[in-house]
Structure formats: C-alpha cells, structure tokens
C-alpha cells in the first residue's frame, strides 16, 4: 500500500533545469569557456559536491569545489528570483494527494538554501511533512541514500513510497532504494534509459491520485 509520495524538485516541481544550465553557462563564460552539452547529460540529478567536482574536472577550473558551488548558487538564485516558474500540473497533484491523506516529502539534490528559497517563493512548504536536501547525505544520486533517508524521516518503509523523478540518476536512486518510481523525463536526455521506472509520463499533469494508488 502506498503511503507517501516523494517529489524531486528540479525539473519535477520547478522548471529549473534550463536555469541551472544558464547558470553554468554564465559561470563558465566569465572564464572564457564554452559550455559542453555532453557534460550536461552527466550532471543532471547529481548533488552539489559531485556536480561541482565534475565541473572542476571537466573544465579544469582552478577554484575549489566549494568556491564553484558558492558562485553557482549566487548566480542561480538571482535567475530564480527573476525567471523561475512552477511546472504545469504541480499544484493540482499536490492538493489532490494532500486531500487523499498521502504523506508528502521533497527530496532534492539541491542545497537546502535553494530548496527553502523555492518553498517560500511559491508558498509550497505547507504541503510537505519532510524536506530533504543533498546537503543531508554523503552519497548523492544515483546512490539510493537520499530516498532511504527520506523514508526513515517519514517513518515508513521504502516499498510504501512512490517517487516522482525527471533524471535517470534520480530514477536509479529511487529504484535502488526499493521504491516505486514515476519518471517525467527531461526531454533533453536519452529517453530509453527511463524504462527502468515503473511508470513513464510526458508531463506532471498526466499523474493522477488514482494512478498513484494503482501503483501499489
């Protein structure tokens, strides 16, 4: 029986992936470096330390990983303030799940500072009983740690959780944790890899409360 639905944030709740990419383009352009699309496919779904390390190694940056992360977050939040939008269909599914008395959690690789900014900007905090950041765990996606930790915080078994993800790293993490996973694939990524998910949909608006209940 499904008791909880766990939402990834970036690319699922908010249309943030283009802004993350824009952030990194800005950061690299300051150094006279062109953004590499191949790098994008590797970074989606990684936590801050892993993605910062990947950026440093890929582009041979002289700054520390910590300095890269700090600069990236400052650029990102400025873009979020001006340009960020919720994904279509988010509020209806959140309200429907809440009314149906599902437990709701947010588990994101983003820093807690960024998560809090989003929750406050769109008044979403009221929906979630548990909020987990990649800051809270050592191993990020595709390792299952963030989802195992979230289930513990919810006080339920992983098999009682449905995860909604948009990245292949996130889907792998959810399945590795023993959870049911709905994928809403980022259209810029290779779609065939998402077949390991239990359900693949084109948009968040295609997910209904009944569909989630039926997955149990």
**10 noted as active-site residue:** yes
Measured on CA atoms in the order 25, 31, 34, 38, is the torsion positive or negative? negative
Rounded to whole angstroms, how far apart are CA atoms 36 and 39?
5
Q: How far apart are CA 108 and CA 7, in angstroms?
A: 8
As a whole number of angstroms, the distance between CA 205 and CA 216 comes to: 20
8 annotated active-site: yes
Question: Which residue in 10, 50, 166, 186 is the catalytic one?
Answer: 10
The full DSSP string for 7-69 is E--BTTTB--HHHHHHHHHHHHHTTT----HHHHHHHTT--HHHHHHHHHHHHT-SS-HHHHH
Tokens of 216: 């149990």
Q: Are 131 and 106 in contact (CB under 8 A)?
A: yes
Active site residues per annotation: 8, 10
């Amino acid at each position: 029986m499904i008791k909880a639905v766990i939402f990834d944030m970036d690319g699922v709740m908010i249309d943030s992936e283009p802004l993350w990419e824009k952030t990194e383009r800005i950061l690299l352009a300051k150094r006279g470096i062109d953004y590499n699309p191949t790098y994008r496919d590797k970074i989606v779904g990684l936590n801050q330390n892993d993605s910062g390390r990947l950026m440093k190694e890929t582009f041979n940056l002289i700054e520390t990983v910590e300095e890269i992360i700090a600069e990236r977050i400052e650029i990102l939040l400025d873009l979020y303030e001006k340009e960020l939008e919720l994904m279509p269909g988010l509020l209806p599914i959140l309200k429907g799940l809440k009314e149906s008395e599902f437990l709701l959690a947010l588990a994101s690789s983003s820093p807690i500072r960024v998560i809090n900014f989003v929750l406050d900007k769109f008044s979403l905090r009221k929906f979630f009983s548990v909020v987990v950041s990649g800051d809270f765990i050592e191993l990020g996606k595709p390792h299952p740690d963030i989802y195992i930790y979230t289930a513990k915080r919810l006080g339920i078994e992983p098999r009682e959780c449905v995860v909604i993800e948009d990245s292949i790293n996130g889907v792998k993490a959810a399945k590795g944790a023993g959870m049911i996973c709905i994928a809403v694939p980022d259209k810029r990524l290779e779609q065939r890899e998402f077949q390991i998910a239990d359900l693949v949909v084109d948009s968040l608006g295609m997910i209904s409360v009944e569909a989630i209940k039926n997955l149990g």
